[in-house]
Amino acid sequence: MPSSSFVKTACPHDCPSACALEVERLSSTKIGRVRGSAENSYTSGVCCTKVSRYAERVHHPARLAQPMRRVGPKGSGEFAPISWDDALDEIADKFTRATQSHGSEAVWPYHSGGNMGVIQRWGLDRLRHAFRYSRQQTTICVTPAESGWKAGVGELRGCDPREMAEADLILMWGGNPVSTQVNAMTHIARARKRGAKLIVVDVYRTPTIAAADIAVIVRPGTDAALALGMMHVLLKERFADEAYLARLTDFDGDVRRHIESWPPERAAQVTGVDVAQIVDIARLYGQTKRSFLRLGFGFTRSRNGAASMHAVSCLPAITGSWQHKGGGAFFLALENWRLDTTLAHGLDMRDPHTRILDQSRIGAILTGDPVALKGGPLVAAMIMQNANSANVAPDSRKVAQGLGREDLFLCVHEQFMTPTARYADIVLPAAMFLEADDIYYGLGHTYITAGPRVLDRHQESWTNHEVVCGIARRLGSDHPSFRMSAFELIDKTLTASGRGTAAEAFSTGWVECAEPFDDAHFTNRFPTADGRFHFKPDWTGIGPNGHGMRALPDFMENYEVADDEHPFRLVAPPARTFLNTTFTEIESSRKREGAPHVIIHPDDAARQGVTDAEIVQIGNRRGRLELPAKIDQSGRPGVVIVEGIWPNADFSGGLGVNQLIGDDPVPPNGGSAFHDTAVWMRRPSQQAVIENG
């Protein structure tokens, strides 16, 4: 039982675990320990180390404490304090002027996942809908994966992840939950106690790979080929459930012939994985009825990511493992919540004709790319909440140019002086989740977790909701949502959705939304138009760039291929004690992560003459960066890894790893290919020779 000083809340960060938390409240302004709720059956008493140390973040001396106006040049980071009234007046004035000069679509409110609250994230949409500002296609994280999952399964939901505990085999594909959603490991550990095996597919030796019974290391971007090789074995060795295929899928002779053209030898050539290992894991998967396929995001952050997700998601349809408890698959729960957010997100005010700008293409948009602007006006004014785009978006050189535009009015609502906030004209101090009420979708489980505020707001900080209401009221909106508290909006949202009341959710700590077995396992129909799983997807129905994609589980070779000039493939995955860029200010996290570095295979290091800890440059036509080499037999030769979205200021050139990453949209529906980059590598001494000679 929690002792009386611990109070319930929930983690707001962009992590599928969405933990139910217990926070030691020492006073109205101070917390002590933070722990995962033992009563919540998914959180199960565990939370990650970085959040268990939240006292360091919420009481950090560098937290923003008052509104500020820029006094130096753009991007200089020189600001002077102003009052909230002056700040809000100026924002309202700039939004009005932009609207008068260029039309309302010249204003672009922008949010990302720094806070995933139903109110404190998507509440900003009320402001945009009330004034017909440009909308946002939220692509930076999930879109390639979502597109690929929907292509086959139909909707973004699946088996209850707690069922992993009842599996006899867990196939973790392209995810690193030890680092990125630790609670998944709790349920996997329960299965392994019963003798279940864990297979992990990744491109380098992550902590999750280290925990696996069978580690499969593929070349980046080749997952579809591995899945096809496995399916070949499953069909040939009669592990396919032909009755299931006939009853619940569109499997036909075309699909069979296509899979037959992918013997494991061909898959091995593409992926780098041994033929024997492909055959072994296919057999193990085929033999085990309760085999749970758990899909991560990582393998979908490539230009062929949607196609890869679709190909891998075909595995449980081939074997029919969906039919068994502890079998089937899960990627993410997004379409099962059925919350009526009309009021909270201002959907009643939405004009379907306002343009939608792609969140991932912020660089192209702000630098005036006409395609990215959808033929509409240049963006003249922005407010950003929960977003650190200068650091996290692809092609960060372009993003910096855009954010640095003299004629752009930028308001950034932040908790710390991030690289993005430094570009702002007005910086507003943001409250933290411990100081705000909200509810959160458990994207990696079946609960909506409830996060009542625990502390008074830090100094002059405001919650996102308060800022949205403050601006909207100044601009003259009389929508009732702008006069309600976050608690009232949560209450209206839950009650309108038949999910109880806010008071009930806050007192329990969560709302259980698990679906019955037959719905979660699609035992009678998949959520597609014809009720079948689609081996032959209609990609053009999923997004505008589906025309080049084949209606088959397909290995697409549209990724950034290494060539003579760029012989290495760069993967840029998360660091364990950062959360995207959140926690990069925190001493204990920085200490644990050390410093930015690039992991290089010993064969490559030997060929390049690079020694351990030596500074190397990696680069391509988009940019270059310098960082120390860590020589480690972790990935395949030809693959280099830079973990963590380190702050731009941690690099000598002032831009981080994302300057190397392309911002071209992933087909069919957009998204970023963060792990799909071809680069060269040089020793700076070599570089000097090239430049001087």
Ligand X SMILES: Nc1nc2c(c(=O)[nH]1)N[C@H]1C(S)=C(S)[C@@H](COP(=O)(O)OP(=O)(O)OC[C@H]3O[C@@H](n4cnc5c(=O)[nH]c(N)nc54)[C@H](O)[C@@H]3O)O[C@H]1N2
Binding interface with ligand SF4 (CB under 6 A): 11, 13, 15, 17-19, 47-48, 51, 181-183, 579
Q: Please report where in the chains the tokens 């099962």 appear, as a residue.
A: 336
Name the amino acid, one letter, at 267: A
Find residue 110's DSSP bridge partners: 384
* Nearest CB to Mo ion, comparing residues 302 and 461: 302
* Nearest CB to ligand X, comparing residues 95 and 244: 95
For ligand X, which residue of 657, 673, 678, 679 counts as binding (CB under 6 A)? Answer: 657
By the rule CB under 6 A, 267 interacts with ligand X:
no
* Nearest CB to ligand X, comparing residues 496 and 649: 649
By the rule CB under 6 A, 413 interacts with ligand X:
yes
For Mo ion, which residue of 48, 141, 240, 400 counts as binding (CB under 5 A)? Answer: 141
By the rule CB under 6 A, 112 interacts with ligand X:
yes
* Nearest CB to ligand SF4, comparing residues 10 and 600: 10
659's tokens: 């300057």
Residue 182 contacts which entry, Mo ion, ligand SF4, ligand X, none (Cβ below 5-8 A, type-dependent) = ligand SF4
The DSSP string of 485-529 is: -HHHHHHHHHHHTTS--HHHHHHHSEEE-PPPHHHHTTSS--SST
For ligand X, which residue of 43, 291, 302, 608 counts as binding (CB under 6 A)? Answer: 302
By the rule CB under 6 A, 36 interacts with ligand X:
no
For ligand X, which residue of 37, 43, 99, 120 counts as binding (CB under 6 A)? Answer: 120
Of the candidate spans 29-37, 90-98, 109-117, 510-518, the one that interacts with ligand X by CB under 6 A turns out to be: 109-117
Q: How far is the CB of 21 from ligand SF4 (least distance, A)?
A: 7
547 Cβ contact list (under 8 Å, min separation 6): 539, 540
Q: How far is the CB of 230 from Mo ion (least distance, A)?
A: 27
**CA dist., res. 425 & res. 414, Å (int):** 13
Q: Is 158 exposed, middle or buried (0-12, 13-18, 19+ CB in 10 A)?
A: buried
Q: How far is the CB of 67 from Mo ion (least distance, A)?
A: 29
| Dihedral over Cα of 598, 226, 677, 150: its sign | negative
Name the amino acid, one letter, at 644: G
Binding to ligand X by CB under 6 A, coded x per residue (else -) over 180-199, reads xx------------------
In 3D space, the residue among 217, 230, 258, 254 whose CA is nearest the CA of residue 317 turns out to be 230
**CA dist., res. 455 & res. 536, Å (int):** 52
DSSP 3-state of 465: helix
**CA dist., res. 580 & res. 534, Å (int):** 33
Q: Spell out a b/e string for 559-595, using b for 16 or more CB atoms within 10 Å of the CB, else e.
A: bbebeeebebbbbbbbbbbbbbbbbbbbeebbeebee
By the rule CB under 6 A, 149 interacts with ligand X:
no
Q: How far is the CB of 12 from ligand SF4 (least distance, A)?
A: 8
Residue 18 contacts which entry, Mo ion, ligand X, ligand SF4, none (Cβ below 5-8 A, type-dependent) = ligand SF4
Residue 218 contacts which entry, ligand SF4, Mo ion, ligand X, none (Cβ below 5-8 A, type-dependent) = ligand X
**CA dist., res. 123 & res. 344, Å (int):** 6
* Nearest CB to ligand SF4, comparing residues 189 and 496: 189
32's tokens: 């002590």
**CA dist., res. 101 & res. 460, Å (int):** 33
Residue 214 phi/psi, 5° resolution? -130, 120
Residue 221 contacts which entry, ligand X, ligand SF4, Mo ion, none (Cβ below 5-8 A, type-dependent) = ligand X
Peptide bond just before 602 cis, omega within 30 deg = no
How many residues line the site for ligand X (CB under 6 A)? 58
For ligand X, which residue of 170, 201, 224, 383 counts as binding (CB under 6 A)? Answer: 201
Q: Answer yes or no: are the C-beta atoms of 280 and 264 closer than 8 Å.
A: no
* Nearest CB to Mo ion, comparing residues 249 and 589: 589
Q: Answer yes or no: are the C-beta atoms of 651 and 216 closer than 8 Å.
A: no
Q: How far is the CB of 14 from Mo ion (least distance, A)?
A: 5
Residue 47 contacts which entry, ligand X, Mo ion, ligand SF4, none (Cβ below 5-8 A, type-dependent) = ligand SF4
Q: How far is the CB of 180 from Mo ion (least distance, A)?
A: 9
Q: Please report where in the chains the tokens 């589980």 appear, as a residue.
A: 553
Q: How far is the CB of 22 from ligand SF4 (least distance, A)?
A: 11
By the rule CB under 6 A, 141 interacts with ligand X:
yes
Query: Which region holds residue 480: left if phi is over 0, alpha if psi is between -120 and 50, else beta?
Result: alpha
Residue 257 phi/psi, 5° resolution? -65, -40
**CA dist., res. 42 & res. 300, Å (int):** 25
* Nearest CB to Mo ion, comparing residues 141 and 281: 141
Residue 139 contacts which entry, Mo ion, ligand SF4, ligand X, none (Cβ below 5-8 A, type-dependent) = none
Q: What residues numbered 272-301 form the site for ligand X, per CB under 6 A? A: 296-299, 301
Q: Which residues of the shown chain bind ligand X in the complex (CB under 6 A)?
A: 14-15, 112-115, 120, 140-141, 174-176, 179-181, 201-204, 206, 218, 220-221, 223, 296-299, 301-302, 385-388, 392, 413-416, 418, 430, 464, 571-576, 578-582, 645, 657-658, 674-675
Which residues make up the interface to Mo ion (CB under 5 A)? 141
